[in-house]
Structure 1
């Protein structure tokens, strides 16, 4: 019998989680979300879109909570911890709605929205600006940058309704 070769490759380990998986996105963004047995059945007219909602927030806690709220409402979700890679994710996964935190260290969410609006490939996006500030404070910013909606992180329960409303809206 021969001894094991010292040249054999080491056992393969699992790669580290990608940013989208970090926020609990273990399912593919293009596959339909798993339904919970406790969730009420939805009529076809209120069915969520097949394209994922892209969530961009530098706070891991906030990002995970936004993703949880959207998934509980039946929406497929893709999450990023920063705007880096957002354009690629939007194009690759055909996202139509983006929920973006206003105050991030790399680029503010309202500035990112302005860049989206200037990009012909991203002009179809509906963008919800989100912040820990009150919605009254965010309404002025909404008018300035032409956001489709604003949402205070204090009112995340309103997010599924906003996404449903924007799903039916053509840009």
Structure 2
């Protein structure tokens, strides 16, 4: 199997059973893999967004800031990716066809294995709308897709905080 190009880090099609295997997960990192006992200064970040363009841009911004990025085009396989890569921060699109990001966040909060996660809800909608949603579903942060330049600092802050 050939590796995806840097321009398109995600293949167009995914195996339906496990989208986080080597063929289906986009992982970019400027640092070597870490042992489970070490606490990375820039821990892995899971990005879930159904828009390929938005997902690639978020991955580019976070990768340039030194984060290892795991990207999924849908919530399918999210729990596996979080556990496998020991992600502590999830950047989650609000409006996806399979399940809304705010509903997925509610499921994360109910799952003991995922209680440690910091979740950033992201959307193209206004920050005022996002802030209202943040209060309703207890997201750790919200971000408009128009302000991705703020994302690395936000992820760093949340990665260093205990939940």
Question: TM-score, normalised on structure 1?
Answer: 0.76
Determine helix, strand or coil for the equivalent of 1:147.
Answer: coil
- Report the alpha carbon displacement of residue 137 of structure 1 after superposing the two structures with TM: 1.1
Give the alignment partner of residue 74 of structure 2, picking from 77, 82, 87. Answer: 82
CA apart distance, 1:26: 5.3
Q: Which runs of 5+ in 2 are unaligned?
A: 5-10, 12-22, 35-39
Q: Deviations over 1:95-152 (max 9, x none)?
A: 0000000000000000000000000000000000000001111000000000000000
Instruction: Point out 4+ residue stretches in structure 1 off by more than 2 angstroms.
Output: 13-21, 25-32
- SS at structure 2 position matched to 1:75: coil
CA offsets 1:52-104 (integer angstroms, 9 cap, x no match):
10000000000000000001111110000000000010011110000000000
RMSD: 2.1
CA distance in 2, matches of 1:20, 1:143: 31
Query: Number of aligned pairs?
Result: 141
Give me the whole-angstrom Cα distance separating, in 2, the residues matched to 1:71 and 1:79.
11
Q: Is the 8 A contact 2:47 2:69 kept in 1?
A: yes
Distance 1:75 1:15, change over 3 A: closer
Question: 2 CA distance for matches of 1:68 and 1:19?
Answer: 18
| TM-score for both structures, normalised by structure 2 | 0.80
1:142 is paired with a residue whose SS is helix
Quote the residue 1:101 is aligned against.
93
Match of 1:138 in 2: 130
